[in-house]
Chain A
């Protein structure tokens, strides 16, 4: 944990016109970390993710990637560093999985490239394999299930070998087994050194898979902790943040398994 942060921000402030959405946040994310951003609706999670990924410009504060200030990077340099996917990437595209993933290489390619180089093919194959879509590589994106399309988009994001992957609510339209598979996949990617930051609504998924949970409320970080070694603090903080009791369930792995207490009459 003493490596240089892949992403670091100081006094980061983001907003729309007169409204401040993210208020003066300090944050660092390091290689291999799996970070979940949690918070009530309108707490600024998605805005923070877009600010951190460089998709929207920063109103004030400093933002740097591996020690390099964002202002000194070209759009393509930034693209090689950070991969971002919105909540619902389009499936209505006239592309095969392989073609979609190939598009993800564009930060590395000249505008005049017409045919794929061996290197591009190698990287595309590798990314498709890393999400387990080899069998579906020639299928059209629109013909895939929601979970498969999600994997295709993750391969699209991975093919540029980013240092950090940012996903906005990637599980929101997946059934529970796909949700689990996706979190496992992200966890594996972290073990290979990728940093992952995701916005989640599901507290139990976040506590079961991420190393670190950040709680946001009204544009401020109200909790930032290691949920692997100290799940209790996270459970307490998140209960308070969502004003809802979280119940710990015994699990065989030692990871925190929690469920919201949906039926507590006192909440």
Chain B
């Protein structure tokens, strides 16, 4: 048992070091390249040279945003997969991201000049509404497949509305393109507010729900007999995932695949139990998002690709490898 525990700790340290490495790379690579020592110098000196401006004002906030968006989406995906007992659950597949996006599109079309906080709140409202809608429409369903079908339908509906709104309103076309593909172009220190909201919420969600969701896996009747309230716990987990997704969408637009792949990758590395899964998914989500954003900036520089496209590019091979290796 001691051995198992120490292996888990070691694997967590491994993931954590990968996060730091991905973070360092994301500061190094871009339109211009910096060595690690130049990065450290750029972070630590107070002069106003061009290097410092690039690292401190452009790359650092963008990397922090990428790490947190990945973490939030990874956690939301893990929580949805555990709650719906569906390994295919993810904020994008269940339509929650699309509803967050729809709320944003609505606000921007009706009030084109609103500030980023209102936009962020719109995304959060949309995400939580998405969660609530899934809960409401799938009430009484036990089958994970049915819940997924409801989610896919909700997502398709919301996506159609988004496209309709955008094509009907030329004002927001620029914003819309970046946002639909998902990416961190334009992320900056003004997102810091959301990081400060994000982190404590993630902690609360993990601590408050991991143990309860673990007990729910034993079966509803047994969970009730242990003193749990399965319906309330499931509702809390889905709404919480909507909240995480909303914040992530407000920063990065519609990024898919991170929520789907991160929990599977995390499970293979840090093993069983909701707490391990949630913490692992947070770390893996960060790694995938940081890597995707870094690659997005490098491949066609000086221009860049939307990171939302590259999350699948980075995550899919890892996921397929893991699924195949589990077979043997």
Whole-angstrom CA separation of A114 from B225 in the bound complex: 21
Whole-angstrom CA separation of A86 from B212 in the bound complex: 19
Contact B207 A112, beta carbon cutoff 8 Å: yes
Q: Which residues between 197 and 228 of chain B lie within 8 Å of chain A, taking CB atoms?
A: 207-208, 211-212, 214-215, 217-219, 221-222, 224-228
Q: Mark A60-74, 1 if CB is under 8 A from B, else 0.
A: 000000000000001
Whole-angstrom CA separation of A20 from B225 in the bound complex: 23
Q: Mark B182-200, 1 if CB is under 8 A from A, else 0.
A: 0000000000000000000
**On chain B, which size bracket covers the interface?**
20 to 34
Contact A55 B225, beta carbon cutoff 8 Å: yes
- In the complex formed, the residue of B with least CB distance to A53 is B225
For B219, the chain A residues whose CB sits under 8 A away are 86, 89-90
Contact A74 B221, beta carbon cutoff 8 Å: no
Contact B218 A93, beta carbon cutoff 8 Å: yes
Residue of A55, A104, A107, A114 touching B221 (CB-CB under 8 A): A55
CB distance from B12 to the nearest CB of A (A): 12
Q: With A85-B222, A107-B227 given, is the CB distance from A95 to B208 under 8 Å?
A: no
Whole-angstrom CA separation of A223 from B47 in the bound complex: 91
Contact B215 A103, beta carbon cutoff 8 Å: yes
Whole-angstrom CA separation of A79 from B227 in the bound complex: 5
CB distance from B16 to the nearest CB of A (A): 17
**B169 contacts chain A at the CB level, 8 A cutoff:** no
Q: With A55-B221, A84-B221, A111-B207 given, is the CB distance from A94 to B272 under 8 Å?
A: yes
Contact A104 B227, beta carbon cutoff 8 Å: no
**B229 contacts chain A at the CB level, 8 A cutoff:** yes
Q: With A84-B222, A85-B222, A103-B218 given, is the CB distance from A114 to B275 under 8 Å?
A: yes
Whole-angstrom CA separation of A89 from B222 in the bound complex: 8
Whole-angstrom CA separation of A83 from B225 in the bound complex: 7
- In the complex formed, the residue of A with least CB distance to B215 is A106
For A55, the chain B residues whose CB sits under 8 A away are 221, 224-225
**A75 contacts chain B at the CB level, 8 A cutoff:** yes
Q: What does DSSP make chain B's interface, helix, strand, loop or mixed? A: helix
For A17, the chain B residues whose CB sits under 8 A away are none
**On chain A, which size bracket covers the interface?**
20 to 34
Whole-angstrom CA separation of A93 from B208 in the bound complex: 22
Which of B1, B221, B225, B229 has the most chain A CB atoms closer than 10 A to its own CB? B225
Residue of A53, A90, A111, A113 touching B218 (CB-CB under 8 A): A90
CB distance from B241 to the nearest CB of A (A): 19
**A82 contacts chain B at the CB level, 8 A cutoff:** yes
Tell me the number of A-to-B contacts counted with CB atoms below 8 Å.
Answer: 57
Q: What does DSSP make chain A's interface, helix, strand, loop or mixed? A: loop
For B211, the chain A residues whose CB sits under 8 A away are 106, 109, 111, 113
Whole-angstrom CA separation of A54 from B222 in the bound complex: 11
Contact A75 B221, beta carbon cutoff 8 Å: no
**A50 contacts chain B at the CB level, 8 A cutoff:** yes
CB distance from B229 to the nearest CB of A (A): 7
CB distance from B321 to the nearest CB of A (A): 21
Residue of B208, B215, B225, B272 touching A84 (CB-CB under 8 A): B225
Q: Mark A140-177, 1 if CB is under 8 A from B, else 0.
A: 00000000000000000000000000000000000000
Whole-angstrom CA separation of A107 from B226 in the bound complex: 6
Whole-angstrom CA separation of A138 from B4 in the bound complex: 11
**30 A-B pairs (CB sep. < 8 Å):** A54-B224, A54-B225, A55-B221, A55-B224, A75-B224, A75-B227, A75-B228, A76-B227, A79-B225, A83-B225, A84-B221, A84-B222, A84-B225, A85-B222, A86-B221, A89-B218, A89-B219, A89-B222, A90-B219, A94-B272, A95-B272, A103-B215, A103-B226, A104-B226, A106-B227, A107-B226, A109-B211, A111-B212, A113-B211, A114-B275
Given A55-B224, A86-B219, A107-B226, output 19 extra A-B contacts at Cβ < 8 Å. A54-B224, A54-B225, A55-B221, A75-B224, A75-B228, A84-B222, A84-B225, A86-B222, A89-B219, A93-B218, A94-B272, A98-B1, A103-B218, A103-B226, A106-B211, A106-B227, A111-B208, A111-B212, A114-B275
Chain A positions within 8 Å of B, measured between CB atoms, are: 50, 53-55, 74-76, 78-79, 82-86, 89-90, 93-95, 98-99, 103-104, 106-107, 109, 111-114, 138
Closest 3 CB pairs of A and B: A79-B227, A76-B227, A75-B227
